[in-house]
Structure 1
Amino acid sequence: MLLPRLSFLFLSLICWQVAPDTGEECHEFTDLNIHNSIVGTGLKVQLLLFTKDNLDCAEDLNQEKPLNSSYLKVSRKTVFIVHGYRPTGSPPVWLKDIVQHLLLVQDMNVVLVDWNRGATTLIYHTAAKNTRKVADILKNNIDKMLNEGASLENIYMIGVSLGAHIAGFVGHMYNGQLGRITGLDPAGPLFKGNPPDERLDPSDAQFVDVIHSDTDALGYKEALGHIDFYPNGGTDQPGCPQTIFSGSQYFKCDHQRSVFLYVSSLKDTCNVTTYPCDSYRDYRNGKCFSCEDFLPLTCPVLGYYADNWKDHLVLKNPAVTKAYFDTGTKEPYCIAHYFLDIITWNKSTRRGYITIKLMTKDGNTTESKINHETATFEQYSQVSLLARFDQDFEKVSRISLTFSTGSIIGPKYKIRVLRMRLRSLADPEKLQLCRYDLVLLENIETVFKPIPCQNMQM
């Protein structure tokens, strides 16, 4: 199944650049530059339609004329992709990926909403003001589709930054009857604190899911959907530059990560599992990894398939669901979650951090530094620490543990481990690994061979 899909994608990417000689006019996303941004651009919207029948040649659904398309089938799901503010005028780097992979997932209409003329300006306020006008144009086009037999339930809008609020405005005009809206790091500036009818809101569609990846800068911090996802707490994203010396990536990397996470969810790589929780701190402290209270009995996944969570909304209808998770530094972003359970028999309480490393026979290693908060080890009390690995090994031949108090000066301590246990969160049936009677000297790596837990008794 995977090979045909990869072949289809490869050919599609080639066709995007080289259209066959069909005699049709192929429309492209507006490509502007910094000069356009300086002088400003008047609003002009193109609606570029892609389907599996015209992957290589976008058709412009001219909103000024009656609906007349060679490829649009209103009986199919229609996805509108709405970009955001474009300070330099260049097309978003993720356009090809999101269109192509959506069409790999399902036979649908994908409409790229190109409002680059109107979004390209040095004055952010001007672009934000244009969002209402873009929403009106989209409603006009959707009305034509409805007249041809389309249903609001089959309309799905994906909005990026300012585009998320545009989607919300459209949904509000249809009294929340759109099938779904996905907000990808909705813009924060000029929208924070606005009432629901002046921003994206859960009432704008039957299902609204939001990914917040830059809540401390360009994004919106508060919940805006039926379920709001906060990768890495919603602020600094792994792999993004930490200093201004990295240039423009310093400003946009966190903001764009929401889009790349969504695109990754369309691919046959891995599903990013998320965990409903009251706070990122509680998630990191391992307090939110049971989804047994939810129906269906599963944790929500990120991205395209997040709408499976709608079944839970019908049955429980919570006011707000916030879901937290961590990611790797690059695609496919998935990480493996494990619990490291430690029981100590020190008479005195010890506080510190644990680093765990997993090794295979062929020399591969993966490491997790569990250092977000000091752990407290008390005699005969189990401490469960959340360990996050960028690789998930089928077989682990060696494990190492390192204990540290984080102090550079002063006495060195040790903890006496009565039992350690490593258990997978994603796969509770996976073999649990144990070891008994260890002494961890501070800042000294202790390497040992784990033993299947069921083969040993306390």
Structure 2
Amino acid sequence: FTQRADHNVILLNAPRLEAGPWYLTASQNTRVVGQYAAQFIDYLVSRGLYLPSLHLTGLSLGAQMAGVCGQNVKSGRVRRITGLDPAGPLFNKWPKSLKLDASDAEFVDIIHSDAGIFGYPRQIGHADFWPNRGLAPQPGCNFKEIKMRNPDAIVELLFCSHWRSYQFFAESVLNPNGFWAVNCNNWKDFEKGICNEHNSIVTRMGLYVDERARGNFYLRTNPESPYSLT
């Protein structure tokens, strides 16, 4: 976004409330952080922020926090929330009021990249994107490939697939013609070519998604940047 120079970006950082080793506490704190973020947005609206221009984006716990934030904004309805591999552990057992879902904004799009491990395993947005099936290991994230890049990269080995979601989104910001995805019932049908650009709805994953898109969308990516095949 800083390279585009046509956006105002606010970063919310709460490291003490979302410390990794204490995941239970960190996950519970998403509701607190989300509520405070909503109050801040209401303040900005009172000072002139045009709410329909607001786009919330969050990775993992940040995605769940964005959902709580969207629910608690009192000055209107948030236009868009993008969830980047929203956190899965614990959240799949919690009620909608404590996590991200399609009711939290006018349009909610999700990029799944580590579903069932660190990421949420099911469709929760208006449009859910499943690059490379949305599962680990993502291309470029298997043990051999990571060891070749960095023999000591234990953290990358654990989170490589989870992090792909934000890497895909970040790249989409500067690539308005990339990351085309096909609406399909499941990955197997997509893989067999049953769903394609000739008989199914297609849209771009990432910043330039068509906000009328609904359902599950599938695509393949490259194992390294540039990730988009186009």
TM over 0.5: yes
- Which is strand-richer, 1 or 2? 1
Partner residue of 1:177 out of 56, 71, 77: 77
Deviation readout 1:161-212 (Å, 9 max, x if unpaired): 0000110001111378101100000000110133222210111001110000
Q: Is the 8 A contact 1:274 1:301 kept in 2?
A: yes
Q: Which residue of 2 aligns with 1:335?
A: 229
Counterpart of 2:141 in structure 1: which amino acid?
C
Show the 5 A alignment for 1:183-222. 183-222=83-122
Show the 5 A alignment for 1:4-403. 102-174=1-73, 177-235=77-135, 236-242=137-143, 247-268=154-175, 271-290=178-197, 294=201, 299-306=202-209, 309-310=210-211, 312=212, 318=214, 321-335=215-229
Q: Is the 8 A contact 1:269 1:332 kept in 2?
A: no
Task: Report the number of matched residues.
Answer: 222
Q: Which residue of 2 aligns with 1:90?
A: none
Cα distance 1:209–1:268, how it changes in 2: closer, same or farther (>3 A)? closer
CA-CA distance at 1:242 after TM superposition: 3.3
Normalising by structure 1, we get a TM-score of: 0.46
Q: Is the 8 A contact 2:51 2:79 kept in 1?
A: yes
Counterpart Cα distance in 1 of 2:171 and 2:62: 20
Cα distance 1:269–1:209, how it changes in 2: closer, same or farther (>3 A)? closer
Counterpart Cα distance in 1 of 2:16 and 2:198: 45
Structure 1 unpaired stretches of 5+: 1-101, 337-458
CA-CA distance at 1:293 after TM superposition: 5.6
Counterpart Cα distance in 2 of 1:247 and 1:121: 15
- Which is helix-richer, 1 or 2? 2
Cα distance 1:223–1:269, how it changes in 2: closer, same or farther (>3 A)? closer
> Equivalent residue of 1:108, what SS?
coil
Cα distance 1:207–1:273, how it changes in 2: closer, same or farther (>3 A)? same
Counterpart Cα distance in 2 of 1:106 and 1:282: 40
Q: Is the 8 A contact 1:180 1:207 kept in 2?
A: yes
Normalising by structure 2, we get a TM-score of: 0.89
Deviation readout 1:254-302 (Å, 9 max, x if unpaired): 00000100111122485111011000011000011035564xxxx1101
Structure 2 unpaired stretches of 5+: 148-152
Deviation readout 1:72-116 (Å, 9 max, x if unpaired): xxxxxxxxxxxxxxxxxxxxxxxxxxxxxx133352210010111
Mark the structure with the bigger radius of gyration: 1
Counterpart Cα distance in 2 of 1:146 and 1:103: 23
Counterpart Cα distance in 1 of 2:45 and 2:118: 35
> Equivalent residue of 1:219, what SS?
coil
Please, what is the CA RMSD of the aligned residues? 2.1
* Structure of greater relative contact order (alpha carbons < 8 Å, 6+ residues apart): 2
Counterpart of 1:240 in structure 2: which amino acid?
C
Counterpart of 2:49 in structure 1: which amino acid?
A
